Structure 1
Amino acid sequence: MTGRFRHGLRVIDASLGVFRARPRLAVLPLLSLAAVGSAYAVLAVAILHYDLVGAVFTSNVVQYSVMFVAIAIASGVGIFFNAAVVHCATRHFAGEEPTVGGGLAAAWAVRRKIVAWGLVSATIGTAFYVVEDTVPGVGTLTHSLFDLAWGLLTFFVVPVIVTDQTDSLRSDLRKIGAAFSRTWGESITAAFGIGLALLPVSIVGICLLAAAYVSASGLAAYAMGVTGGLLLVASIVLAQVLGMIVRAALYQYATDDEHVGPLEALEPDEIFVDD
């Protein structure tokens, strides 16, 4: 475990080099957070306007419908802005000058595929909740395992959408599966490594927010709350950017045998071997 964590840190450090070269990439996940928050606000206003608050808690149909819409929004918007990051990362790997506008344009060009994947994710996610609520013996742990399996199954969905504009979701899944089967060790370790490396920052942010709410007051509460919020947002943004940089690099490695970006000076088959 220690060896894997240390190896994951090496890739994260290399990914940070790409991020330091293109710090404007942070704008994209920030826009994603703003877009999802705004969409959720509109959804909340619609629920209040049509007096559906009670139905959300008493009617399974309304509850699952709201859940479906919420997951579709989060997934679709997330994929859209992640696609922009992947486009910028691949342009950087190729020695070109990426721009935020160019990334957004590239994501907009594949918007239909992004919407399709958002709807698929919403359908799968809602189905998991329905099964958890209706099938005996299926609890939170099983749901979490299903979520993990789905996350791994679609690990390369964004690079495939951006770089291989296939005709169908089935073709996407074949390409995703082929890339993941070749780099599953690298992919899993990098994904968990980024999360573990940034976990302390997230924990500090949450603790500061909790302390500001529970025990602090006045200026100290505001300072702690703002600092905690900034740390939490920073960890989310950095995780998104680094995650997409690593996935773009690993996908190019899996499909073309090219070591680009964070893998350029490293050998993936050797990095992720336990000590």
Structure 2
Amino acid sequence: MAGRFSRGLGVVDDSIDVFRDNPRLALLPFLSLLATGSAFLVVLGVGLRYGVVESVLENDILRYAGVFAGISISSSVGTFFNAAIVHCASQYFDGESTSVRDGLAAAWRVRRTIALWSVTAATLGTVLYVIDEKFGVFGSAARIMFDLGWALLTFFIVPVIVLEETASLRSLLRESGDAFRETWGESVSASLGVSFVFLPVGVVGLVGLGWAYFFGSGALAFLVGAAGFVVLVGSMVAAQVVGVVARTALYRYAADGERFGPCVGRDLETVFSTE
């Protein structure tokens, strides 16, 4: 297990190098955060303006509709911009020039598949929310178990959407699940590695924001809060890019048997061994 984790950190380290060579990729997750945040602020503003927030919270049907809409927005926006990163990373691995505009154009070409996936994720998320709410501790346990299994099954869903010519939900899930079974050791350890690298940085930014809000005052509080915000957002953006780059390289190895980017120079038969 320690060997797999160290190899996962190696993949993360090489993915950071890819990000360093393509710093403009940071614009994509930043736009994702901006778009998602703006959408939720608009919805909240409209709800407060017309005084429907309380009605939504008190009415089960409206609350479930709100959960569905929220998951749909976050899933569709996040998947769209992650799809753009996948395209750019794949182009880079092939030695071709790429740009943010190319990535956005590629994501737009698969917009219908992204929409299908987002509606599916929102439907399942809403059903699990209802189960969690209605069945107490058993519902919560079922939701946790299903969330974990679903996360593993769909680990490579965005690379599949971008790199495979299929709009079938069954095919998307099958391709993603097969790729994860082939690369589970490295995939899990790489994901943990991304958290290990970037989570402490994000915590530092969050602490700065918290100190500025609760204890600071004047210009110092403003400066510390602004710095904390920049560090927090920067860590989220970097973690997103690095994580997607690593998944793209791992998926392409699982699908084609070729080493790309972070996979180059590694004994992948050992990396992906289940022993």
The TM-score bracket by the shorter chain reads over 0.9
Structure 2 residue aligned with 1:68? 68
Per-residue deviation, 1:139? 5.4
Instruction: Report which stretch shifted further, 171-180 or 133-142.
Output: 133-142
Deviations 1:245-268 (A, max 9, x none): 011100110011111011112233
Structure 1 residue aligned with 2:29? 29
| Pairwise CA RMSD | 1.7
Match runs of 1:17-166 below 5 Å: 17-138=17-138, 140=140, 142-166=142-166
Per-residue deviation, 1:2? 5.2
Structure 2 residue aligned with 1:256? 256
Check conservation: 1:26, 1:237, Cα contact below 8 A: yes
Query: Secondary structure of the equivalent of 1:97?
Result: coil
Instruction: Report which stretch shifted further, 106-115 or 142-151.
Output: 142-151
Structure 2 residue aligned with 1:210? 210
Structure 2 residue aligned with 1:221? 221
AA aligned to 1:259 is R
Distance 1:220 1:44 in 2: 31
Query: Secondary structure of the equivalent of 1:138?
Result: helix
Structure 2 unaligned regions, length at least 5? none
Question: Is residue 2:8 matched to residue 1:8?
Answer: yes
AA aligned to 2:201 is V
Distance 1:168 1:256 in 2: 20
Structure 1 unaligned regions, length at least 5? none
Per-residue deviation, 1:142? 4.5
Closer, same or farther: CA 257–273 of 1 in aligned 2, 3 Å: closer
Distance 1:198 1:113 in 2: 30
Per-residue deviation, 1:227? 1.2
Deviations 1:179-222 (A, max 9, x none): 11111111111112211221111111111111111111111111
Closer, same or farther: CA 62–237 of 1 in aligned 2, 3 Å: same
Identity %: 48
Query: Secondary structure of the equivalent of 1:186?
Result: helix
Deviations 1:72-130 (A, max 9, x none): 00000000000000000000000000110000000000000001111111111111110
AA aligned to 2:58 is T
AA aligned to 1:100 is V
AA aligned to 2:231 is L
Deviations 1:217-255 (A, max 9, x none): 111111111111111111111111011101110011001
AA aligned to 1:244 is V
Structure 2 residue aligned with 1:193? 193
Distance 2:180 2:273 in 1: 17
Check conservation: 1:7, 1:272, Cα contact below 8 A: no
Query: Secondary structure of the equivalent of 2:137?
Result: coil
AA aligned to 2:59 is S
Check conservation: 1:186, 1:268, Cα contact below 8 A: no
Distance 2:87 2:167 in 1: 19
Structure 1 residue aligned with 2:175? 175
